[in-house]
Structure 1
Amino acid sequence: MPRAPRGTLSHQVILERATHLMDTEGLGAVTVRRLAKDLGVQPMALYTYFKSKEEILAALYDSLLAAIEVPESPDAGLDGVRQIMREFFRLLTEHPAIMKAGSGGQGDTRLAEVVYALLLNSGIERRTAVGIASSLVRFTIGSASIYQERAGWNADHWSKVRHSLRELPAERYPVMRSFGDDLPEFTQEEVFEFGMDRILRTDLNEPLEP
């Protein structure tokens, strides 16, 4: 990635470089000193735009979340919630290191505002809405965290899994061994869609017990 031309340093240029470093070398590479070196400026130049490394990481997180498109109407219902969570899942799988960059900033608040509006406008009770939103976020982060190591699973992988299951002793693992002959295959995207659908297809109008 080329250095920033002299006199063009900005919030956007710094965050673009930070994103590149995070994606290619990991979050640990995103330091003020490294950013300054890559951009061809002195470290003090970055402090004109950000007070600290932590502020850069928070802005990086918020800038990526800002790219998630949200429904324009609060009446988009549960389909709108699905749209947001799919975009969130895509973001986390494309930038896995961002999960360690922090949360709780304006980016999270923006998405939470829309998700809760969609849930409440669908007639869902407030406590249930909190439970649903929290479960979706945790499920999406968990699904994205194991995506990289499992995204390449193909027919050959599933064939090996079935073979290994058939090798299990029947008296000790009767159920698991039975899957050796009939194990449904899922892509990671299909697993994500399946889990999200299950969370949103419970009896959403039944309040959770406190």
Structure 2
Amino acid sequence: MKNSRTDRRTRERLSREAIAASAVALADAEGLEAVTIRRLAQDHHVTPMALYWHYKDKDQLLDGVAERLFGDVDLPPVGSEPWPRQLRAALEAVLAALRPHPAVAGLATSRILSSEAGLIVAERTLSHLRQAGFSPETAAEIGGYLLSAVVTLVTSEPGRRHGDDDEAHEDAIRVKAASLGALSPRRYPNIVASAGSLAACASPDAYYSLGLDMLITGIRGIATEPAKGKPERAS
């Protein structure tokens, strides 16, 4: 009976959600490659079997991590504003959930339809695109592109911090900026002129805002161009 009660308490403490949260924290600190069932079990001072109760293998564990990310998306209520504003607000919510976790953000792209939390985000995105007049097929294509683009914004942020060593982070930025600035100004005048910005964002918030501006502007352009033949106009 003692072992049974101990096993039950362990499973309760190591809930599916708690394990996923630990996996995200580990990836934030050491990278996605560090996330394994064995490592998480070690960190929680349990045997791997305690985690297999919830996740049978690493792929299922990564599904849980993606589910955790989408669960953190705080979508705004559906309103009466024009669809571009509502779509942008939805993308901002996704970005806010992914931005603190660049090491695992890439999991979102292929796993959005694998959990209830992801399905809610997908449904909202497709709803706004359908409101714009796109057919179900085109809305699905654009929706997939939008998620991939948001993920890329997060994973490709210039000068994104790795770890907690401020001095090493600043040194890495200086080295990259100096390397780009030392290129031949005759052959690469624009790279040399942009060396500092290519090495690190002057303002990460402005970087993300510009990225969303480009996405929404592009979709609005497609939605209002009849020559494309893709939007399905509402009667």
**What letter is aligned with 2:24?**
T
Q: For residue 53 of structure 1, report the CA deviation from its aligned partner.
A: 1.8
- The residue that corresponds to 1:198 in the other structure is 214
- The residue that corresponds to 1:21 in the other structure is 26
State the Cα deviation string for residues 7-54 of structure 1 (Å, max 9, x = none): 622112212221221111111222111111111212111122222221
More helix by share: 2
Distance 1:132 1:13, change over 3 A: closer
Q: For residue 55 of structure 1, report the CA deviation from its aligned partner.
A: 0.8
Report runs of 4+ in structure 1 exceeding 4 Å deviation.
150-153, 177-180
Q: Which runs of 5+ in 1 are unaligned?
A: none
Distance 1:173 1:56, change over 3 A: closer
1:109 aligns with 2:109: no
Q: TM-score, normalised by structure 2?
A: 0.66
Mapped partners of 1:66, 1:177: distance in 2: 40
Tell me, yes or no, if the aligned pair for 1:74 and 1:117 is still in contact at 8 Å: no
- The residue that corresponds to 1:188 in the other structure is 204
Tell me, yes or no, if the aligned pair for 1:70 and 1:80 is still in contact at 8 Å: no
| Aligned-residue RMSD, C-alpha | 3.5
Distance 1:48 1:192, change over 3 A: same
Q: For residue 72 of structure 1, report the CA deviation from its aligned partner.
A: 2.6
**What letter is aligned with 1:58?**
D
Percent of residue pairs bearing the same amino acid type: 26
1:44 aligns with 2:61: no
Tell me, yes or no, if the aligned pair for 2:185 and 2:192 is still in contact at 8 Å: no
- The residue that corresponds to 1:79 in the other structure is 85
- SS of 1:69 mapped into structure 2: coil
Distance 1:46 1:148, change over 3 A: farther
- The residue that corresponds to 1:137 in the other structure is 147
Tell me, yes or no, if the aligned pair for 1:75 and 1:118 is still in contact at 8 Å: no
- The residue that corresponds to 2:128 in the other structure is 118
State the Cα deviation string for residues 105-145 of structure 1 (Å, max 9, x = none): 22433211101112222x32225534543442232222111
Mapped partners of 1:147, 1:75: distance in 2: 33
Mapped partners of 2:98, 2:16: distance in 1: 22
Tell me, yes or no, if the aligned pair for 2:22 and 2:40 is still in contact at 8 Å: yes
State the Cα deviation string for residues 74-94 of structure 1 (Å, max 9, x = none): 645222211221222233321
Aligned length: 194
Tell me, yes or no, if the aligned pair for 1:32 and 1:46 is still in contact at 8 Å: yes
